[in-house]
């Protein structure tokens, strides 16, 4: 395997994007905390009751996973891969006759997700 300079640039860009996103998220949280601190200090100076901390700073409550995500993802993967196989079969050049089966793993993944949804045994609502 020989990596090119372009591969390295892509990795540097991805790493920089991830670090930049985390930095922006951290700095926005810091600015929000500074504003809340200033508001609380001003309230203490004026002798009015301290405002409560906003609810958004606390940890969000975990909600149960949506049961419709797996079948929807399965249907999308299955139909897109079957459609791609049909298109590749119809427009295939004479040289690459076996190229149309390349989306087959995604079709199996979609079919597996759909089958898992029906076989997991949860009662229907």
Kindly report, residue by residue over 13-25, the tens digit of the pLDDT. Answer: 999 999 999 999 9
Instruction: Answer for the pair 78, 90: CB distance below 8 angstroms, yes or no.
Output: no
Distance separating alpha carbons of residues 63 and 66, to the nearest angstrom: 9
The residue ranges of the chain whose pLDDT is under 50 are: none
What's the chain's average pLDDT?
Answer: 85
Query: Where are the chain's structural domains?
Result: 5-57, 69-119
Q: What is the pTM of this model?
A: 0.50
């Amino acid at each position: 395997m020989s990596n090119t300079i372009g591969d390295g640039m892509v990795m540097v860009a991805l790493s920089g994007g991830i670090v930049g996103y985390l930095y922006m998220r951290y700095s926005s949280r810091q600015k929000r905390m500074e504003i809340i601190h200033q508001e609380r200090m001003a309230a203490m100076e004026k002798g009015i009751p301290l405002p409560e901390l906003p609810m958004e700073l606390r940890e969000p409550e975990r909600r149960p996973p949506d049961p419709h995500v797996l079948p929807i993802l399965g249907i999308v993967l299955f139909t897109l891969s079957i459609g791609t196989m049909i298109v590749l079969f119809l427009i295939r050049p004479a040289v690459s006759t076996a190229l149309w089966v390349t989306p087959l793993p995604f079709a199996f993944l979609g079919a597996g997700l759909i089958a898992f949804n029906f076989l997991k045994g949860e009662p229907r609502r």
